[in-house]
Structure formats: structure tokens, C-alpha cells
Structure 1
């Protein structure tokens, strides 16, 4: 499909630079099947928008302070690195600013005395960084890194201490992401308690979100776009509970596109979930047949992005373009720190 079919004009003042407080005070646009009217609701209305027996699936990845600033030893050029994907205990694939100044074997020095050696270069221009020393890389990042906010926030206002908590979900448990599963940022203890009281289940999986989620689609046709792979995991017990919930008539509602992509990667042709622990580069566009996901709670996405294509696959392109027009006209806040939508085909 043509990528420009997923384009729309968004006024800059609709881009949220901070989350609302409390987190669950965000608005939520409810989008159902083709003939249903749009419903302007709030995140706190989520329990009554779902049915007892439905199950929400959250991504429990934890965002690392994976944005680094430094220089090449023996040179003055400033080097910026955004870690993308863990390769092993000491090596990370990273997108590097001023990458042309970096050669294989160069030592890079970042804040707090953290150093790394540049190794292999990938086809997409990213570089393997080998972090020196004996301390775990997570400890080094806590000392030297900052939260890797999306460019549309970081370039406009910078990154500060508040983002250390704002850009982390209440479910964060597994270190490894360099971008937040932002749909879950809206959840609070009182909202979780209301969901429990309604009889709505909760499960978690892990997808370590990579920096590739922010990269624009440069191809003119979706067939020519290559997704970056990310590591995901679903336990056998979680897969079994979700299968049982569906067999009992409940719906599986993914909280965030990362949860959705992991669920669909782990589902067989028969619609059954299985234990999963592998990289996935699944690219969901209109025409995709969903195997296990029955709905999606997600924020509003960038034009011409893979995520805009994914929600269009779930609800229909024209339906989502109409929904986004409604959201813009009614002052919804967009992107990572913005408002939410609940998509129920």
C-alpha cells in the first residue's frame, strides 16, 4: 500500500509535551465498528467500556536511560548514542549521531567515566557498542544516560528529572526497553482496582521496545519497509490463561501496540497462543488477519508511521482517518504523553 495513504495534518499544539496529572485523568476516544458513533470518554471510564471476563494485556518492559552523550577519544566531535537493542550482557546495537566520525575500534567516552568500544556497523547505519568495565551495563546507564524521550518531545523542551518517572509505567519490571509502552502510562492503582472490581483480567508480557519505533517510514510503499526486530516473551502460563479466557467468551484487549505485536507474533494459525521468547519484526498493515487480539487501547500515533498502519489494519483505514480527524477537531493530545483511544472492532 502507498505510505501516503496514512498521512494527516497535525497542528503542533496538539503534541503533548507533558502527561496529564493524575495519569488516569487523560481523555480516551472510544472507536467501535463502522456505524457506531465515536465516544468521547476518559481513561477512568475504561472499566465500564469493557465486559467482565475481558483481559487486558500489558507490556512489563522497563525503560533504561539509554540516551548517551559523549565524544570519541582522541577527537573533539560530539557523539550521541541511542541504544536500540541488547545483543548480550555488554553489547548493544545503537543509533549514533555523527556516526561518520566513528570507526571500528574507536573508544567512546560518555558521562560518569563510562566508556564503550565501537564494533560492527549494521546495514541501517547503527553500530555495536561494547561497554567496558565490570559493572552491569544497567548501572553504567543509570550513571551516564538520560531517558530516551521521542524526538518530538526532547527537541522541543529537553529531558529532565521528572521524565524518569513520567516515562515509566506502573507495570515496569523487566529492564531492556529504550522507549516506553506508552499506552500503559495512563494506568494508576485506583484504575487497576476498578478493573479488578469489574471482573476484568490482567496479564503481562514483555517486549523490549527499540529506538526503531521512532524511525520514519522512508519507503513510498509498505512492501518496501523493513521493520527493526525487538525481543519479546510470553510465558506458557500466560498463554494458557489467555487461551482459556477467550474460550470462555472473554476478549483479549492489548494495551499498546507493543503488546499487540507480541501477542500476534506468538499466536498460531489456529488462534491459540503459545509460549514465546524470540525476536519479532512483525509488520501489521491493512489486510492482516488478526489471530488473537480482539481490541486495542493505544495513544494517537504519528502520520505515515507503522503504528498508524497497525491501527488501520485493526479498524479500517478510513475509519481511523475519521477518528483522527475527530480527535484533532476535539483537542485530543497526541503521541507518547498524550491521550488514549480504545479500539473495539
Structure 2
């Protein structure tokens, strides 16, 4: 029997957790749904990742109001994907921060990504009528920038390509805590459909070089303690490599995309098959790995139509 397209069969509400990962630092998680982060400064709050809709963003705000009444002044978006950015209007932040590369992707493919992800994630886009339009940053950076929330320093950096070409991480040096977006996941499949497999491992190594005491990942539970951080980084690297390697071998010998799909499943199903959104991600991951293995550096734009065509070719 054909599998339900993407996450259309995932309609159950998820249990929310709001976990302290450092002094005044929190990870908002929901059983494999997209995470958000919270950084409380002396006089204001920064949120990392907006959620898919204002409706979901308000759940983050409700958690914030349980621990502080300080105003939310800054919103950092680690990349351009719709499930991360379209809830931005609910925070009322005076600054919305993205990398230059992420903003360029909103220009190039933001509308198509919105339509694509709307079809993939019906539960996450409940209440989509409130979304005022594409989310645009007020502030961008190329390599790094620093924001001070009173005396608290927050460094926002591009450490390399991985989940997208414009990924940002957020580092809080006084607590040695990092918010990584979807560069690092925990017991959730990495979505690699817009990724850069050859660069991802080096970007993970750049994160590891900070020796974080805790990480709020893109999906999955908060990672507290250096041992858990190291394990999650290694597992993410294994997921990315295990996806790409068999696909690249098939491409090198002139095989077909379907043969690459079978090879990726043989490598990944046993290790990662129980991870959140695994079946959703795998066709998009294989399609992107196939392109990269054949020399296509810039990920092709996903549209709602291309999503369906690819799904039928691989998962149908």
C-alpha cells in the first residue's frame, strides 16, 4: 500500500516540552516537530525559530510568559524554510535576523517553499489564514554578528553549508550553549532536500569545536551535557553520510534513481527507520543526494508539483 504523502498522515497533536538548557536559556520541543529556542537577557528576550504559523508561535510565547515578562525584541531565523519562519508576526520582535544567504533564498524560492511545505505538513499549517505573507528579515549578516541583550552576548554565525546554504547557529558564550537549527537533529531524520552533503560533516565539526555544554537542536529533545551533545552530532553525521554514500555509489556506476533509492533504504532503514519524519524525508533526501552526486551544487527548487512527482516515483 502506498504511504501517505509526506506528513499528511501525521495528524496527532504533539506533547510540548519547555526545557531549560542553561541559565535563562530554553528549548521548546514537541516530539519531533520543529523546535524553537529562547534566550533571556537582562531586559529582553530573543527567540530562535518562529514556527510555521502565528498559532504555533503563540504556544512558544505562552511558555516564555511562564518564565519571564520581558519583551521579545529579537527573532533569529536559522534558515528560510516555511515551517521555521511563517509564524514570525506573532512575536512582535523589532529585529528579525537571517543570514544574507537565507534572505536570498526567500527571494529565490520562498513562495514555492511555502506552497510545497503547506502540502507536506497539514497539521503544522492549521490556522494558516493568519500568516500575513513571506517573512523578511530586518537585519542580515554574511559570516557573523553579535547582539547584546543587556550584558548578555549572543553570537549569530554561519559556520558552513549543511541543511541549507544559509544556515545560522546561535551561540551564547556565557552559558556555552548553542542553538543549531536543523544542522543537528536528535532521533529525528535530517531533511536534506535542500542540503549540501559534502559540506555538512565539516559544518558539524565546526559546531563541535565550540564544545557546547548543551544544544537545542532543530528537532528532537534538548541535548544537555557534553556527552549527549557529542553523541547527537556523531549521529547526525552518520545519518547524512549513510544517506549520501550509497546514492553516490549508484550514481558513479551509472545506475538509476530508483536503484539509488533502494540502496539508501538498505543502508538507512534499520538504523534510522524509527526516527521522526523518516519516511517523509527519505525521498527528498535521496533526490537531493542524487543531484549532488551528479554535480548539481545548488539544490533545485521544490514545488508542490515536483514534490508529488518525486513521491510517486520513489514512495508511490
TM above 0.5, yes or no, is: no
Structure ID, larger Rg: 1
Question: Which is richer in helix?
Answer: 2
Higher RCO by CA contacts (8 Å cutoff, separation 6 or greater): 1
| TM-score (norm: length of structure 2) | 0.28
